[in-house]
Structure 1
């Protein structure tokens, strides 16, 4: 058996055994496929991890940068209390439309707000509107802007907030300082930023599974 096939099989085993899959989440993935959205959502187990981390933190306000079809938005939205709120930022109007439909299907339209436009512009607007600061921020958007998104996350985060950045291993390409891949360059700049940023305590985790070889940054904003 190919090693990547084994990763997939183990992921499916975990999902089936400990409930990372359910009919609503499966229907969201189906809707995304039918709408021809790219299949770059987090995996079921990764979605469940986001949910559990948000639950563990007891979050009330969540910011997501990069919505796609709303799969991770729904996982995170499920962790919110009755008066909780999630703002998710999406560049593509088509993706946002699909996400809103999926969010409604999940019964979370009163908790999740989709904002359409370039994320850096939307983040500026959020700051100008003085929205309540966030307890949990998930960044899964265009990788060249990862450093800019983290800078904004630090501006908009409460002390003690969790910040997670997805897709930071780049199938191992992250260690290639000569890479011409803009996603790799942006993510390397992210790590340069974190290595000199005193406001956040962070680490990085490598992962394997249905999404191949990748990983994420996990950080906590200092009190």
Structure 2
């Protein structure tokens, strides 16, 4: 799960599907977790995500001026006693060995009580308001151009634009995914084609007055999927 998900509730759902979790790993974006946690609307969710973790993985520490120190300190304050590791700055997955190969398994909770058990989640769902929009991207627009348009939209809207994703077919037949997450826009190869639909998740009202058809060069006006 990513973005505005609640890890403890996602893990509980997996258990009901006979996928018994051994623990919850929450990735903490070192570049903006402190600011996100202070957000008036969504800060409580950010703190809950960290508090639900059995292991906190600090990512993008190499992109910060303090090498992720502020993020690690925040983790220690919000989730007292929860193990914190930092992902390798080369982008490798060596941290996986730190988790699965830990010489101190007692630091992590014991597995669930059985495949037929129904785990409990102590706190209710947070039901935070979000606005979801779906737009059809112009088939002449490639991934790099969409990424540039998303970057400009992010700069205009600010932190109110929470998440965006689209998979586009390129002129050479390849497929690329365009992501906006944690305020960063990225382009990466995608395994399959998609109809060129861009999904945006934003704080309610943050996109008011923005002509998305023009800003994102889409072929039709955005369709409001849900506001909750």
TM-score, normalising length: structure 1: 0.36
Q: Structure 1 or 2: larger helix share?
A: 1
TM-score, normalising length: structure 2: 0.35
